[in-house]
Amino acid sequence: MGSAMSEAGRARAAAQRTAAAPRTIAPRRTAAAILIVAMLVAVIAAGFGCARDNRAFPQLMDSLPRTVGDFTYCDIKSVNSDTDLWDIFDAFEASADARQVEDLIQVIADVHVYARAVSYDNAALAGPATVFRGDLDMAYLRLQMENRGYTRSANKSAEVWLPQENSTYTDAVGIRDSALYLGDSTDVIACISAAASGDALSLWDDPNLKTVADKLPNGIVVSVHRAAAGHGESYTGLVAYGKSYGKANRDALNVKAVYLFGHDPAARAAQLAIEDHSRSLFDDVTIKTEGNLVVVTARVPITRFAASLEF
């Protein structure tokens, strides 16, 4: 689904990636100072729902509103830095959202993580909202938007910029801290509001989606979905499901999928249908039930997976 990047483009992207300078730590600290720092870290972690989770995708879930029904995360930095994964990066770079961001920041390699969210409640009215994080110079971004005719919206609760009516791009651009949001202005404001409010109104706060997410490893691509008629996979009694993809070797990805059902009998009844569906997509499929969960492990060729991606 993605277009191939030229060799010159790859070389330019590689040249533009710079390693962060290692932090230095003062050689002498008192035990009391270390204790104070440790206590502060503990207090901060307790105040944020997923701050204690060292996986990257829960941090993105925590910055999106709870009304989201379909969430996809991609570790752009990893797929950009690994030549075996460049088919995935090419699919990302070819997307309309990536092109709009690249037009503003110039160096798409500065994007490190990406998330795509669709709210089932208004999916017929607005497209998905996307979030970009990385080494983004927000002052430069604002200057670029001014130069390209974007105008700051009148909304006081969130920084949202709107493109010109005759612009190549139609998505509003939102800024909060180090994150950049794209999408319909209403969706962008909802995302920024969720990020600003902590985890009380976030996607991560949904107990069913969190149950699924807690079972998934931190892959290069992770998706979490709320079961809904007409959206994604559908099995009787299905509540939510998710999939994580991580590199197995230079040609293939490991896949883990988790399906959450309302009760154990529903999970057992759906196992065969889930297995048939999984075998139509993946290789080396194994499947088992764990109470009201169905767990699938498999492999998929990188080229086949990249062709199926929607950024």
For the segment 190-203, the average pLDDT, to the nearest whole number, is 71
CATH 1.10.10 assigned to 55-196: no
Rounded Cα gap, residues 191 and 201, in angstroms: 10
pLDDT in tens, 247-291: 999 999 999 999 999 999 999 999 999 999 999 999 999 999 999
The pLDDT score that the predictor gives to residue 117 is 84
| Other beta carbons within 10 Å of 194 | 25
Alpha helices in the chain (DSSP H): 7-16, 31-47, 57-61, 76-81, 86-93, 96-105, 138-147, 185-196, 207-214, 264-281, 302-308
Question: What residue segments make up the domains of the chain, in order of their start?
Answer: 55-196, 207-308
For 102-171, give the DSSP string.
Answer: HHHHS-GGGEEEEEEEEEGGGTTTS--EEEEEES--HHHHHHHHHHTT-EE-S-SSSEEEE--TTSS---
User: What span, in angstroms and rounded, lies between the C-alpha atoms of 22 and 11?
Assistant: 25
Task: Record the pTM.
Answer: 0.79
- What is the rounded average pLDDT of the residues 197-208? 72
If pLDDT is split at 50, 70 and 90, which confidence band does 201 have? low
**What's the pLDDT score for residue 127?**
65
Does residue 26 surpass a pLDDT of 50? no
Report d(CA 303, CA 300) in Å as an integer. Answer: 9
Per-residue tokens: 105: 């920041």
Between CA 109 and CA 6 the distance in angstroms is 15
Of 138, 187, 133, 137, the residue nearest 158 (C-alpha): 187
User: How high is the mean pLDDT of the chain?
Assistant: 82
What is the number of alpha carbons within 13 Å of residue 308 lying toward its C-beta? 11
What pLDDT is stored for residue 253 in this prediction? Answer: 98
Query: Which residue's structure tokens are 């009694």?
Result: 237
Q: Is the pLDDT of residue 33 over 80?
A: no
| pLDDT tens string 82-131 | 999 999 999 999 999 999 999 999 999 999 999 988 876 654 335 688 99
Check residue 192 and give its pLDDT. Answer: 84
